[in-house]
A and B are shown apart, each in its own frame.
Chain A
């Protein structure tokens, strides 16, 4: 089974620029998550999709962050404009659904390390 694919692996941008990250979840996984992990902290949920619908975006800074999940498969996360404090690893994860989550957990991608200078 192929894992969760993310690109790019690394990105360096200047503040006020825009950036986009891409995620391809495991085939058939209905739920997709974007997490932000700042150095020294645990992953923090930004947004959760169930198929192509948003079920939780309460922690997403909507003035600058946006995300979509096209046709319930791939997802993109965009930051515009970026701030210095957005420097973090952005992790995408997927799961089959609530029933399987508790036993196997989510499957994470390798993440995108963003540096804003």
Chain B
């Protein structure tokens, strides 16, 4: 049972354009959503998060949008840079005792110079 879904395995965009990475979830109990970025041979690094009580969170070039009614979130990267090329994981959590992150399969972003 995949509770966090990233249905597109890859995305290719031109440098300077917008990258939009999508994520869907099924568990309405999740109250926080996070995006992680992973380069080859490295562990995932935290990028940005959003609480379920918000619909938008922005940090520099990165913005995450949450549509709770649709159980959908998206990560926007503007403008995209070649250094953004990596695997991006969407993750979700129901906070509280013994909480844990549930990850999607990831999407490989390639930013073309």
CA distance A33 to B101 in the complex (A): 10
Q: How many residues of A contact B (CB 8 A)?
A: 29
B98 touches A108 (CB 8 A): no
B4 at the interface (CB under 8 A from A): yes
Residues of A within 8 A of B44 (CB): 43, 91, 108
A110 touches B93 (CB 8 A): no
A111 at the interface (CB under 8 A from B): yes
Chain B residue at minimal CB-CB distance from A10? B41
B63 at the interface (CB under 8 A from A): no
CA distance A108 to B32 in the complex (A): 18
Interface residue range, chain B = 20 to 34
Chain A residue at minimal CB-CB distance from B106? A42
Residues of B within 8 A of A105 (CB): 34, 36, 46, 49, 91, 101
B93 touches A42 (CB 8 A): no
Cβ contacts A to B, 16 pairs, < 8 Å: A4-B43, A42-B105, A45-B101, A55-B98, A98-B97, A101-B93, A101-B99, A102-B31, A102-B32, A102-B49, A104-B49, A105-B34, A105-B49, A105-B101, A106-B46, A108-B45
Interface residues of A (CB under 8 A from B): 4, 6, 9, 33, 40-45, 48, 50, 55-56, 91, 93, 98, 101-111, 113
